[in-house]
Structure 1
Amino acid sequence: MVKRFLGVEISFQFYYFALLTIVLIFDKSGGIFCCFLSSFFHEIGHLLAILVLKQKVDRIEFSLFDIKIKSNYYVSFSKELIITLSGVAFNFILFLFFIRTIKIFALSNLFIGIFNLLPVSTLDGGQAINIILNKFISEEKSVIILNILTVIFAIPIFTLGIIVLFNTGYNFSFLLLGVYLFLTPIYNRKAISRGNYD
């Protein structure tokens, strides 16, 4: 389903809301839902930076694993780095703001912020590395480096997910993260294209 709001195309995929519904049904602790909410605010951080820097947004996509903001306009090196890392910065601000009141939401923001700093192709850390690497090497070599880093970080997280699931019997959050990291290079090969903010 695609809608337009204030000149921005907004795309909603059924899978995103299906996954959110499953999480609401089976998430006993509420932690995964808080991570969904923190991810939403993460994207608000990107949008705020885009607006402050007077850039334009073409499209916002709600897909199976993420929310993606697309801007096909040229931005300078420094502005692109700021926009790329603004989601993480907003998560850390929310962590500091809510740590004394709503700890589970504060900690989920801390987790989402740190997770997005990983040097993985579709995460902000990987996109920031891609922006920097493109000043020195080709896009193709940058993609190879980021795919290798993605696998390196996916293996321990996936392994931890299996251990946590067996020990708790219900907590599958790290296992999902591991699967997500393994699938990111396949799922969205264009995610590290400039102008995409997750």
Structure 2
Amino acid sequence: MSRCLEIISPGFLLLVTAFALQQSGELLASILLASGLHEIGHWAALRFFGVRAERFRLAAWGAGMVCGAGLSYGQELIAVIAGPAVNLICGVACARAAEHMGWTSGYLYAGAHVILGAFNLLPISVLDGGRAIELILSLWADPWLARRIVSILSIFTLVLLTSGALWLSVQSGGNAYLLVGILGVWSMLLRRE
């Protein structure tokens, strides 16, 4: 099997194709760019600490890296937060470029960055925010206890998000894009638990 097929899941290709058929190419480009820069943020922080990513995988509901060397809780926390931080910085830069240079598409790119960065900061264990909370709690408590607390927080957060997405879907006359994304996060969480 080729190296490219090992790192890109069929689910990722299917999701990108479906999205491309339903939405504009520029929207898809803004989301893919925000996702790519998000992962580069994680990768750059790992490289700063001298850690090499052994494997990278794009899947339908996100990307992931496998690293060989261990990091301290503080170093891993920095690496985890680096992805959303890059998105927030790029979001502000795109918005400023849109404002000062008349680049109207810049607001689309800014929005993709800010939404992706903020979404990844949600307190859900399979997202950066949940992992960050687990690492912070592990500094002061047993890692097992920290993992349990974040698991409970993850389920609570996802129940709220699912309820909100269902309500929005009904209010919008059946638009279920947000609900599909949340179901993807549920799927990742249930496979991890």
Deviation track 1:142-177 (CA, whole Å, cap 9, x = no partner) reads 222112111211122222222333333464332123
Aligned twin of 2:51 = 55
Amino acid at match of 2:120: N
More displaced stretch, 158-167 vs 109-118: 158-167
Q: How does 1:8-47 map to 2 (within 5 A)?
A: 11-27=7-23, 31=27, 34-47=30-43
Distance 1:130 1:146 in 2: 6
**2:115 aligned to which of 99, 111, 117:** 111
- Describe the SS at the equivalent of 2:140: coil
Contact 1:84 1:127 in 2 (8 A): yes
Unaligned runs of at least 5 residues, structure 2: none
Distance verdict in 2 for CA 1:33–1:177, change over 3 Å? farther
The verdict on how the C-alpha distance between 1:149 and 1:32 changes in structure 2, with shifts beyond 3 A counting, is farther
Distance change in 2, residues 1:88/1:33 (3 Å): same
1:48 Cα deviation (Å)? 1.7
**Contact 1:116–1:125 under 8 Å retained in 2:** yes
Question: 1:167 matched to which residue of 2?
Answer: 171
Residue 176 of structure 1: aligned partner: 180
Unaligned residue ranges in structure 1 (runs of 5+): 190-198
Identity %: 23
Aligned partner of 1:145 among 144, 149, 169: 149
Greater gyration radius? 2
Work out the number of aligned pairs and report it.
Answer: 185
**Secondary structure of the corresponding residue to residue 135 of structure 1:** helix
Cα distance in 2 for residues equivalent to 1:95 and 1:109:
5
> Larger helix proportion, structure 1 or 2?
2
Q: How many angstroms apart in 1 are the aligned matches of 2:67 and 2:133? A: 19
Question: What is the alpha-carbon distance in structure 2 between the residues aligned to residue 45 and residue 81 of structure 1?
Answer: 13
Question: How much does 1:31 deviate?
Answer: 4.8
Three-state SS of the structure 2 residue aligned to 1:51 is helix
**SS of equivalent to 1:73:** coil
CA distance in 2, matches of 1:178, 1:124: 15
2:182 aligned partner, one-letter code: G
Which residue number in structure 2 is paired with residue 196 of structure 1? none
